[in-house]
Structure 1
Amino acid sequence: MRHGRLPDGFGVRIDPRVRAYSGGRILVGGSPARLLRLAPEAAALIGDGYLEVTDPTSASVARRLLDSGVANPRPRLLPAPEDVTVVVPYRDDHDGLVRLLAGLRGHSVVVVDDGSSRPVRLPADRGRCRVTVLRHDRALGPAAARDSGLRAATTEFVALLDPAVVPRAGWLEVMLGHFSDPEVALVAPRIVAHEAYTTVLGRYEHTRSELDRGRREAEVSAGGAVPRVPDTALLVRRRALLAAGGFTGTRPVTADSDPAADLCARLERDGWRLRYEPAARVTCDHPVSFGKWFARKVNHGAAEAPQARRTVAGPQQPPAPAWAAVAAIMLSSLTRWGLLGGVVTIAAAVLRLRRAFIELDNPAEMAALCAGRALTAALWRLASAVCRNYWPLTVLAMLVSRRVRRIAVTMAVADGIADWYTHRDTGGLDPVRYVVCKRLDDLAYGTGVWWASLLSMLAARAARRGRPEPAPTPPPAPRRAAVLTCV
């Protein structure tokens, strides 16, 4: 479904990881990787890697580059900040709400009190914001609270911010620019720590939080580098979300569901584009005590259990072709025949890719590069499955097999070192402590996945035996409690 062409003045920049061949007529890159052939006229429009939309032809080329994932948007026009309403789902987090409102300046804010034990009390310092409070008589969950705020807002765009976050300067303008593309429905910022931590867990979370999607901008799409984003902080096109059913959709939100992932899937299915913009940042507190940190990781695994079960290695792992998965399993066996089979599989894939890249200046080089990327992704997925999602099965296998113990330990160390190298940052942990924290992180995440899966299985068995859980009642309409304006 198309919603309109790109406006004049909209720009796109070829991703720096994309390789150009044959005078720019063939582009190879994106996530998942693909080969894009351009007509000579289209290649001439790109020039030094930047294309500005000036007419229908350039708009069509820019759209194709964006759809292929080989270019990133560079909008120059942006809607007015007055077209944005901030919605805050609130439940017994007064300190967080005070901090958030103090960080907003002149916005229209809707606070949805989701059945707090004590009604929300607005602070004196509201940053010149016009604050509207809605209240649910009982707790319906953050997803229902966000939907109530969406329905109460009247502006074209809505920023959904949890009380635990504080936006940094320029966050809104950076994300608003993406909406000059009429097909964009959702933009997510990067979520980083409020402050630099000195503890081991704090420094680990600074670079490896489950809320942080990294330093590289990307399209949010299934099978891409960023398959989903957290709902902690989002900027959305209001009519698109309402048409898609909001966060709750048509099905009730349960402990086994992930409203953010379901929302992304529904918007993508409806033809909307979703973006992750790391230049826009909001800060969030991270737990630094081991108990709270471990519990948060367990809850994160439980929330992603449906996606983790469907994707084997987890929703955040890069995709890999079937041949690469077979080669990775063979190589990981560390046996003579396994290594030989893996090498043969890789060689066959390189030859096949070379035929596909025959039009390039150096098809063998490109084939080897693509095969290497695919194999790396497959090894990463395999290590994630062994050490993260399916660690209980790995432990059982290690108890009875020395070979499995050797393979599992090798994967655990190699995966940890590779992850440290990928996410290394100034002031971060050394490799040894990082690997230890990563393994504890995976242990907690896998525990959450298995616990949520067990509860889901027991609930399904109870339903089959004729003892289904009572159907949830539809959420009542929120009651408007107060409209307060700070001058």
Structure 2
Amino acid sequence: MLVSIVVPAYNAETTIVACLEALLRQSMPPQDLEIIVVNDGSTDGTMALIDQFPVRSLVQSNQGPAAARNLGAAAAQGEFLLFTDADCVPEPGWTAAMIAPFRDSQVVAVKGAYRTRQAALVARFAQIEFEERFAMLASLASIDMVDTYAAAYRREIFLQLHGFDTRFPVANNEDTELSYRMAARGMKMVFAPQAIVYHLRHPDSLVRYARLKFSRGYWRMIVYKQYPGKMLRDSYTPQSLKLQIFLVYAFLLLCPWLLLWPVAMIPVILFTLLGFALSVVPFTKAALRRDLPVGLCAPVLLAVRAGVLGAGAILGVLRTKL
């Protein structure tokens, strides 16, 4: 059984070495693995570093990770396609753990898990966000979201579906779109929590975090336009997050009316704030148990998350086409 691992790389000279070293340390026999790195038009020293490793390398002009992954998949020979990113470091057992669920012939895609060793508070907060979602996924027999930092597909099915939608120009929700497309066809996807990659670049400042979440909100709304049913519920998005976005924007819209009707508006605004406070209690309690400083900051960071995700989503609604 041959397994093909595809890594898209764009200006990844600071991370690609750690990624490829980890892939070459996988516990599966080397003869069962094919590692393909697609240089997506890098302008730094990425290509020179790739050339130092015994991997297949492909080159394309900069077209984005969706196109790069599709190029690697088309060139792959394995029965199974695995994807990770150039800023991820898989654990030695990652490949084997990703492949194991395919023993069930009904499984067509597998999602692994993220971790990080970053010390920055915002990065630690981002990791606890992932852990909240992983806990949701772990309780489900089938999921509808496979992220490309740790993704596996039956290659035949992936090619039948024409891979990722290359109209997504950046690494943002192209994997969501493919997941929803597969879910719409009744295809079974599962979560493998023991298939772990370490991410080297969780957002480590509030500004980077806000920019990322704004972009996430924008591109997710583009996907929701194609799959509106997923806006109500999917296996990966906490319902509390949607409530928090609503409450943050309700608060912002209500505040100006204080000038006209202060007596009437004050109770409504206080009720909105109370609703938000109650909505963040479960996440905050979990964060406090895992990381006290993050837990203390969690309500504020959750408010920022709701605000910027909502702003991105609003812009996504206004976009007329992909």
Report the CA distance shift for 1:270/1:382 in structure 2 as closer, same or farther (over 3 A). closer
Does the 8 Å CA contact 1:112/1:133 hold for their aligned counterparts? yes
* Separation of aligned partners in 2, 1:164 and 1:430: 24
Report the CA distance shift for 1:269/1:173 in structure 2 as closer, same or farther (over 3 A). same
Matched with 1:268 is: 183
Does the 8 Å CA contact 1:312/1:385 hold for their aligned counterparts? no
Report the CA distance shift for 1:88/1:439 in structure 2 as closer, same or farther (over 3 A). same
2:216 corresponds to 1:300: yes
* Separation of aligned partners in 1, 2:289 and 2:137: 14
Matched with 1:103 is: 22
2:96 corresponds to 1:170: no
Does the 8 Å CA contact 1:398/1:404 hold for their aligned counterparts? no
Question: 1:381 Cα deviation (Å)?
Answer: 6.6
Residue identity over aligned pairs, in percent, reads 21
Residues 18-74 of structure 1, C-alpha deviations (whole Å, 9 max, x = no match): xxxxxxxxxxxxxxxxxxxxxxxxxxxxxxxxxxxxxxxxxxxxxxxxxxxxxxxxx
Aligned partner of residue 187 in structure 1, secondary structure: strand
Does the 8 Å CA contact 2:80/2:153 hold for their aligned counterparts? yes
Alignment partner of 1:131 out of 46, 49, 55: 55
Residues 335-378 of structure 1, C-alpha deviations (whole Å, 9 max, x = no match): xxxxxxxxxxxxxxxxxxxxxxxxxxxxxxxxxxxxxxxxxx6x
Matched with 1:52 is: none
Residues 78-134 of structure 1, C-alpha deviations (whole Å, 9 max, x = no match): xx5xx21110111111122111011112342111111222561135763xxx41111
Report the CA distance shift for 1:215/1:453 in structure 2 as closer, same or farther (over 3 A). closer
Matched with 1:121 is: 48
TM-score of the superposed pair, with normalisation by structure 2 = 0.82
Higher radius of gyration, 1 or 2:
1
2:159 aligned partner, one-letter code: L
2:76 corresponds to 1:153: yes
Report the CA distance shift for 1:96/1:307 in structure 2 as closer, same or farther (over 3 A). same
1:289 aligned partner, one-letter code: S
Does the 8 Å CA contact 2:70/2:164 hold for their aligned counterparts? yes
- Map 1:200-349 → 2, pairs under 5 A: 200-209=121-130, 213-214=134-135, 217-219=138-140, 226-248=143-165, 252-253=167-168, 258-284=173-199, 285-307=201-223, 310=228, 315=234, 316-317=236-237
Report the CA distance shift for 1:218/1:88 in structure 2 as closer, same or farther (over 3 A). farther
Residues 360-404 of structure 1, C-alpha deviations (whole Å, 9 max, x = no match): xxxxxxxxxxxxxxxxx6xx37623414xxx44541123323233
Alignment partner of 1:112 out of 38, 42, 66: 38
Question: 1:190 Cα deviation (Å)?
Answer: 0.8
For the aligned residue pairs, the C-alpha RMSD in angstroms reads 3.0
Matched with 2:275 is: 411
* Separation of aligned partners in 2, 1:288 and 1:278: 24
Alignment partner of 2:10 out of 91, 94, 99: 91
Question: 1:288 Cα deviation (Å)?
Answer: 1.3
Instruction: Give ranges in structure 2 of 5+ residues lacking alignment.
Output: 25-29, 258-264
Report the CA distance shift for 1:163/1:277 in structure 2 as closer, same or farther (over 3 A). same
